[in-house]
Amino acid sequence: MDLINAHKSFWKENDYPYIKVVEIPEAELIQLITKLSRTDVIEWLIWNDRNGVYSDESSIREFGKAMSIEEGIEIMLRQAEENRVVTHWKVV
């Protein structure tokens, strides 16, 4: 967790709420991800799933290695899709 506290957070620097990740269209999410560092991805994953194993410390302890940015993005996209908030729908 020290790594996360020591870096400049995309989320804080841009006043970008974590929850917005599940509210934006998929194309916008893909664009957002290109702006995130590995630490930003880990920060979101920890916020989204407090019981997950995402920090370097817990990943190394649990799996013997730190999570790569590619692994983190894959998990983030999956979790964002699972938690997707539908904002534009119409009852017919």
| 92, 58 Cβ separation under 8 angstroms | no
Question: Whole-model pTM?
Answer: 0.84
pLDDT at 2 over 60: no
| Residue boundaries of the structural domains of the chain | 2-82
pLDDT of residue 6: 61
Q: What is the pLDDT of residues 6-65, one digit of tens each?
A: 678 999 999 999 999 999 999 999 999 999 999 999 999 999 999 999 999 999 999 999
How many Å apart are CA 22 and CA 81, to the nearest integer?
A: 7
> Buried (b) or exposed (e) across 46-79, using 16+ Cβ within 10 A?
bebeeeeebbbeebeeeeeebbebebbbebbeeb
